[in-house]
Amino acid sequence: MTKDERFVILASSLGTVFEWYDFYLYGSLASIIGAQFFSAYPPATRDIFALLAFAAGFLVRPFGAIVFGRIGDIVGRKYTFLVTILIMGLSTFIVGILPNAETIGFAAPVILIGLRLLQGLALGGEYGGAATYVAEHAPMGKRGYYTSFIQTTATMGLFLSLLVILFTRTIIGEAEFAKWGWRVPFLVSVLLLGVSVWIRLRLNESPVFQKMKDEGKSSKAPLTEAFANWNNGKIVLLALIGATMGQGVVWYTGQFYALFFLQSILKVDGYTANLLIAWSLLLGTGFFVFFGILSDKIGRKPIILGGCLIAALTFFPIFKMITSNANPALEKAIEATKVEVVADPAGCGDLFNPVGTRVFTAPCDTARDFLAKSSVRYSTVPGPAGSGVKVTFNGKEVPYTDAKASNPALTAAIGESGYPKAGDAGIVKMAHPFDVFRPQVAAIVGLLFILVIFVTMVYGPIAAMLVELFPTKIRYTSMSLPYHIGNGWFGGLLPATAFAIVASTGDIYAGLWYPITFAVITAVIGFIFLPETKDVDIQST
């Protein structure tokens, strides 16, 4: 690798790390941001609106891919992803100085959501530009290796955001952090932005793109050529279903849903859960490069699709082992207690509530919603027509009134059955960042590390594969859209959708069917139809 090639990779990767850092800050601090900008609403509603604003960033990513992909294929790679990082960085910095709802009222959440949409649009254009730029500088036979550094950026951005948040919280304390300290990580991003812009201004245009432009062969209508032409459109569709869809769900399961599972279902405190994830990322990040190099030797297809298949086959046992180590009392309670909600089926609705905006009023629904939020495994049993709701623990009926209000009898029965509460002694808790050598903590980090390995398998070679699937003149546009639909929609909406499945079924592991289903679909479609691309000469396409 030459000095110039190392600089290209550094400039592209470093900028993308900062972009992901900016993007993840909001997700990590959603509850605090909800209290700051949606304070006019009840606490539960604040959290819902905060998460919906976070989801908006994922939903617009494909549109950013279309907008900036088109610009990148007409104007050039360098200037397009310079613009995206400026939009991302400035949007994030403004969040840090934005007055809250108590100061400027309704304008605060409106501006916040607008900034989130800008962040999502910018991120939609960033990845395709960085991956394309690096790949077009890489020599034949080393594209997997070179682009794998881009693949480390999302994990490193998440890790950096967690590190800054934990450091700030430790220095100023939780009370001050919730009051004003949450702004510090957002404000720090302006320094990262300055470094990224300075580095990217020193870059030259991609030689492959520049040669094509000098020869007058660049596309005048990349959107039409990429999506209206079936010969290319079918490759876009295949890239989505046979590669990025499964890659996206495996990626988000291993990093985001694992964190959500620890906190929301296993009742692990946020400090510990973030440290556990951070350690697994620290140990596993180097494998992005390992699998990128391996893909140059044996191909992209067997590694990506093999990762999807192995993940799908092992998610259930891995998450069950995480439960047995992180919250052993919960595992015992689930095994020892049979909880049933007996009710007339006509009075029981669908609890599927991925965005958290539905309000349940029927007794059957409020009872099941209460049990799901208490991490209680239950089953719904049909009762006689016109009958009321009956909740039983191992066959013993528990008086039930309305779980929306205080329900001491149901709460007592949950406790008596051994279901732990947040903060109970048996739940894993880390005293400090280096408290990782106790058997309980080490076992959980090891299991999370395995999930990260799956992430590195599916994600390490994906940039090289996407670049190699499409011709130069429409490469930026063509590769960006399937990537951001697969990751932004199928992956980004995974945590909320999976938890909604948990709540609607009464099984804390049922949410795993979401990533398993899509990972298997990708593995099957990809193995049958997806071409191997490692030997494609992108200089001549």
Same domain, residue pair 313 and 341: no
Same domain, residue pair 343 and 317: no
Average pLDDT for 55-64? 82
Domain end call among 373, 393, 416: 416
Q: Are strands 396-398 and 339-343 parallel, antiparallel or unpaired?
A: unpaired
CATH of the domain at 378: 3.40.30
Residue 337: its pLDDT value, please?
A: 92
Q: Is pLDDT larger for residue 513 or for residue 484?
A: 513
pLDDT level of residue 540 (50, 70, 90 thresholds): low
Domain that holds residue 411: 332-416
Whether residue 360 is predicted with pLDDT greater than 60 in this model: the reply is: yes
pLDDT level of residue 23 (50, 70, 90 thresholds): low
Report which of 495, 494, 496 is spatially closest to residue 354, judged by C-alpha positions.
496
Domain end call among 416, 440, 463: 416
Residue 355: its pLDDT value, please?
A: 59
Q: What is the pLDDT of residues 142-160, one digit of tens each?
A: 999 998 988 888 778 877 8
SS3 386: coil
Question: In whole angstroms, how far apart are CA 322 and each of 50, 265, 330?
Answer: 28, 11, 11
Sheet holding 339-343, edge to edge: 378-382, 339-343, 390-393, 396-398
Residue 422 within a domain: no
Q: What is the pLDDT of residues 159-188, one digit of tens each?
A: 788 788 888 888 888 788 888 999 999 998
Same domain, residue pair 36 and 168: yes
Average pLDDT for 324-352? 90
Residue 370 within a domain: yes
Same domain, residue pair 126 and 66: yes
* Mean predicted lDDT score pLDDT of the chain: 86
Residue 289 within a domain: yes
Same domain, residue pair 364 and 490: no
Residue 253 within a domain: yes
Q: What is the pLDDT of residues 87-128, one digit of tens each?
A: 888 888 998 999 988 888 888 888 988 988 888 888 888 777
Q: What is the pLDDT of residues 476-507, one digit of tens each?
A: 888 888 988 888 888 878 877 888 788 788 89
Q: Are strands 378-382 and 396-398 parallel, antiparallel or unpaired?
A: unpaired
The CA distance from 131 to 72, in Å, is: 12
Residue 53 identity (one-letter amino acid): A
Residue 424 within a domain: no
Residue 494 within a domain: yes
Residue 449: its pLDDT value, please?
A: 96
Same domain, residue pair 382 and 457: no
Residue 425 within a domain: no
Same domain, residue pair 19 and 97: yes
Same domain, residue pair 461 and 380: no
SS (H, E, C) 217-240: CCCCCHHHHHHHCHHHHHHHHHHH
Residue 287 within a domain: yes
Tokens of 447: 């299991």
Domain end call among 351, 384, 416: 416
Report which of 275, 320, 311 is spatially closest to residue 455, judged by C-alpha positions.
311
CATH of the domain at 136: 1.20.1250.20
Count of the separate structural domains present in the chain: 2
Same domain, residue pair 258 and 289: yes
Q: What is the pLDDT of residues 380-421, one digit of tens each?
A: 999 888 888 889 999 999 887 765 556 788 888 999 999 998
By the 10 Å C-beta count (0-12 exposed, 13-18 middle, 19+ buried), 111 is classed as: middle
Same domain, residue pair 393 and 440: no
Residues 6+ positions from 446 with CB-CB distance below 8 Å: none
Share of the chain above pLDDT 70, in %: 95
SS3 137: coil
> Which segment of 38-47, 225-234, 520-529 scores lowest on mean pLDDT?
38-47
Sign of CA dihedral 58, 63, 64, 65: positive
Whether residue 287 is predicted with pLDDT greater than 60 in this model: the reply is: yes
SS3 185: helix
Same domain, residue pair 256 and 340: no
Residue 322: its pLDDT value, please?
A: 96
Residue 140: its pLDDT value, please?
A: 86
Residues 6+ positions from 429 with CB-CB distance below 8 Å: 268, 269, 272
Residue 449 identity (one-letter amino acid): F
Same domain, residue pair 380 and 455: no
